[in-house]
Amino acid sequence: MQISKVLSLCALSATVVFGANTLVDKVKQNGIEAIPVSQLEVLKLIDDPKDPITTAKVELGKKLYFDPRMSRSSIISCNTCHNLATGGTDGVSAAIGHGWTANPHHLNSPTVYNSAFFKAQFWDGRSPHLADQAQGPVQAGPEMAAPPKLVEERINSIPAYVEEFKGAYGDNVKISFEKITSTIAIFEKTLVTPSRFDDFLNGNENALSKAEKEGLELFMDKGCASCHNGIALGGTMQPFQVAGKYKFAQVGDFVGDKNGLVKTPTLRNITETAPYFHNGAIWTLKDAIKEMGSTQLGITITDADSAKIETFLKALKGRKPVVIYPELPESSEKTPKPDAKL
């Protein structure tokens, strides 16, 4: 009797392990990857040997990220639209910039968390990496509206910043617009948020509940992983309106890149980044899932199936790095004054 019980328990245990491994294998077959456990392995994925990540660069980049003097008005910082306290977004449909101007194309601010894993930056994918991306919003008229020369003058006029750049890059560093924005990008690279989903893929079979695993399976079976894959579960350029017309296509005039491709948003921390889609026209995750079914997959996703998929997506909420709001260095008499005029 005891032997039978032991054998039964062993068989049950084997079934559970086999089931978990099968699901993990299915996830990998769908092209989805985990954020590695090892910080060294993460660093290999995000670091650039030509401009390696260092503590000094990260701290300097963090200050610049939060510094409103990067904008013409000295009111708007990178954190204004990519607020690290609210999922790395601003929580409004269309980004608001210089002079209280809404994005002219009615584009929604994507999250900055895990953006180091994106294969393309901006909704139209026009930037290949974060260092290039960081230059765009600073200069854009409806965003921070600061010409490169003004940014250079502001930062170079602040003695403490000059010393920090020397400490990060050496005494002969030229504090150019490109160096300033690439330093911001180095800080942004560190905004990685591993989740319980990653714990599951990395070997912790109990990291996801039964309902979350069921939602994950449905997520793959419905075809969601065809676009939402890789480490970011998004971040690649994909065709949009493949199977049907997007319900809110008339909101704004954005149609993608020259080939009609649109950057797939990451699903990591998706519960924190409403409203959804490039124009921020959908406010609930349930509706976003159902709209994706009709627009991209040509299927009807029921309320019940949408709820199951949403249960899985909630497991993608990650552990955020601790970011302490920095004390910014003071301006000098030479620092160009704020200009809030349109």
pLDDT of amino acid 4 = 36
What are the C-alpha distances in Å from 42 to residues 94, 192, 236?
Answer: 32, 9, 19
- Tens digit of each residue's pLDDT (9 = 90 or more) over 200-215: 999 999 999 999 999 9
pLDDT of amino acid 5 = 33
Which one of the listed residues 33, 41, 59, 143 is annotated catalytic?
Answer: 143
| CA pair distance 20, 27, nearest whole angstrom | 11
Are 261 and 238 in contact by the 8 Å Cβ rule? The answer is yes
- Name the CATH superfamily housing domain 28-40+193-314: Cytochrome c-like domain (1.10.760.10)
Q: pLDDT: is 7 or 332 the higher one?
A: 332
The answer to the question of whether 228 is labelled as a binding residue is: yes
Q: Is 270 exposed, middle or buried (0-12, 13-18, 19+ CB in 10 A)?
A: buried
| CA pair distance 229, 111, nearest whole angstrom | 17
pLDDT of amino acid 12 = 35
| CA pair distance 245, 103, nearest whole angstrom | 23
pLDDT of amino acid 341 = 84
The answer to the question of whether 78 is labelled as a binding residue is: yes
pLDDT at 188 over 70: yes
The answer to the question of whether 82 is labelled as a binding residue is: yes
Are 93 and 106 in contact by the 8 Å Cβ rule? The answer is yes
The answer to the question of whether 278 is labelled as a binding residue is: no
Q: Is 13 exposed, middle or buried (0-12, 13-18, 19+ CB in 10 A)?
A: exposed
- Tens digit of each residue's pLDDT (9 = 90 or more) over 15-57: 334 455 799 999 999 999 999 999 999 999 999 999 999 999 9
Sequence-ordered alpha helix ranges (H) in 39-176: 39-46, 55-66, 78-81, 130-133, 135-139, 148-156, 159-169
The CATH architecture of the domain made up of 42-189 is: Orthogonal Bundle (1.10)
* Catalytic residue status for 143: yes
Are 237 and 120 in contact by the 8 Å Cβ rule? The answer is yes
Domain with CATH 1.10.760.10 in the chain: 28-40+193-314, 42-189
The answer to the question of whether 81 is labelled as a binding residue is: yes
Angle, helices 159-169 vs 177-189, to 10°: value is 70
The answer for residues whose C-beta is within 8 angstroms of residue 162's C-beta and 6 or more apart is 155, 156, 175
